[in-house]
Structure 1
């Protein structure tokens, strides 16, 4: 099970994090997606990775959960930014969020870690590998893309992101169920109890629609990472759902195509979530990729 939640200073921010497993094991850091607190990486998923010989670390990105919320950044006009219209600059970019992640490693006394990112977390992980390659032992990019122009959301999935924000834990649960019925995995049953439970917990833990808008703005203004990924020497695994309506599979294909030597796993029936029935396959892939680096010539100090 998880240790207690810790908080560390990273620049002017405070990031909340939680660890699983033995601190003497190789570190594996998981990065969450847009509007997703660390709770999105299920405790049981993290425990299973830890049981395979890793110290697993999950954390709240800036502007979400128990980490610092940048209220002074206001509420950006995300639709204008997405449309390329004139709008005030976004408060920060994915580069800043990658620097947060590197700062978290510093604060935890870790020279490097295996990095696993999902959705926006995959974008941050890619940027970390570009900007701080010596901090990344291996990269696993899940249901992500090197550019918001690649693998663009289907209209119904895009619309789901812009539903009115919830006003209490119950409406948070209802909204989350509505969203995941659209973007979830058509080949696997949706664990509605888990989705609703996480949504309620997240609402009580730190509800901030403006913070989510600032994260979305960071995605909107961040440039294509393809040129940087083409120069990457970080061992890379790309996992993507064949039926992902939010970041369509072209995003995963483009990521794998950009990184020299990357391995691509396309999962039939998988959408924009991690169904529990897929955990054994996903964990096997992540563990095999990380272990190959630990025992091979690419091992980093």
Structure 2
């Protein structure tokens, strides 16, 4: 569909008469990362589920390297998807970068947000937070007398244009970020092959999304969020350690933090779907309930 002057590929599940729920994927990730069955189960729970390919991913418009768009453009694409479907407001469920985009929508366009679910994401850099930047892995190194945080760039030596090596690279990335419940190799291979086959240029998408970043910080504006907010975070997430979700829970009024045991920085694996679906589809958090 035409969105903000580009073409965005989207898919819906369920009945249009049900409350809309928009899934926002992570950095350089197409909608394929939201499992088909996961989407169907959300729809069975009474939601009109919408997933879409970010620009430069899947079947949405692909740009040349260094295209120069911003995190604000990625946010406006999400809002444009809702506009294209005639949806005035939706439940937002964002993962990693998608969670950052959802936060920005909640502070800049609060009337578009019914509820907010933030998965494996961050409020940004708080005074006590470990610095983690888009596209960079934070590695804590124990040295005397303290822990030093070093930043390591991702492995970009992979030839993302070659199907075999790209699929192997995606599988390795998922495994490195995951935990004991991360899907097994055959399932990961099917996902990685689908992602590759639906993508125009994986290398360009990764570069352009990294350059776009999350947009200007919104952390100081999060206390103004009024939407009932659920924070889901894996106990094994190394990209955003525990201080990140705790900071989100501290600054967003009435938010509720729920830990996903044994989950890394990944789309919630099937082993925790019952917990995740129950939380997302349950009654909204009471705005007066203190954060966990």
Confirm whether residue 12 of structure 1 aligns to residue 10 of structure 2. no
CA-based RMSD of the aligned residues comes to 2.2
Equivalent-residue separation in structure 2 for 1:98 and 1:125 (angstroms) = 8
- TM-score (structure 2 length as normaliser): 0.85
Contact 1:245/1:272, CA 8 A, preserved across alignment = yes
Deviation per residue, 1:159-204 (Å, 9 max, x gap): 555452433322222111211221012x424332222111111111
Q: Secondary structure at the match of 1:292?
A: coil
Task: Answer 1 or 2: which has greater helix percent.
Answer: 1
| Equivalent in the alignment of 2:146 | none
| Equivalent in the alignment of 2:290 | none
Shift of 1:123: 0.7
Q: Secondary structure at the match of 2:210?
A: helix
Equivalent-residue separation in structure 2 for 1:55 and 1:46 (angstroms) = 9
Deviation per residue, 1:210-242 (Å, 9 max, x gap): 12211111216x232211212111111111111
Equivalent-residue separation in structure 1 for 2:29 and 2:155 (angstroms) = 12
| Equivalent in the alignment of 1:140 | 117
- TM-score (structure 1 length as normaliser): 0.82
| Equivalent in the alignment of 1:75 | 66
Deviation per residue, 1:132-158 (Å, 9 max, x gap): 110010010000012267452433995
| Equivalent in the alignment of 1:3 | none
Shift of 1:250: 2.1
| Equivalent in the alignment of 2:20 | 27
| Equivalent in the alignment of 1:123 | 100
| Equivalent in the alignment of 1:111 | 88
Superposed structure 1 runs of 4+ greater than 6 Å apart: none
Residues 200 and 251 (structure 1 numbering): CA distance in 2 closer, same or farther, change over 3 Å?
Answer: same
Where structure 2 has 5 or more consecutive residues not aligned to the other structure, the ranges are: 141-150, 288-292
| Equivalent in the alignment of 2:205 | 211
| Equivalent in the alignment of 2:148 | none
Deviation per residue, 1:5-26 (Å, 9 max, x gap): xxx1112111110011111111
Confirm whether residue 238 of structure 1 aligns to residue 231 of structure 2. yes
Q: Aligned to 2:284, which of 279, 292, 295?
A: 292
| Equivalent in the alignment of 1:228 | 221
Question: How many residues were matched structurally?
Answer: 268
Residues 248 and 158 (structure 1 numbering): CA distance in 2 closer, same or farther, change over 3 Å?
Answer: farther
| Equivalent in the alignment of 2:160 | 166
| Equivalent in the alignment of 1:79 | none
Contact 2:230/2:257, CA 8 A, preserved across alignment = yes
Equivalent-residue separation in structure 1 for 2:194 and 2:254 (angstroms) = 40
- 116-125 vs 248-257, greater mean Cα deviation: 248-257
Deviation per residue, 1:53-82 (Å, 9 max, x gap): 1111100011111111232xx337xxxxxx
Confirm whether residue 263 of structure 1 aligns to residue 261 of structure 2. no
Where structure 1 has 5 or more consecutive residues not aligned to the other structure, the ranges are: 1-7, 77-90, 297-301
Contact 2:62/2:200, CA 8 A, preserved across alignment = no
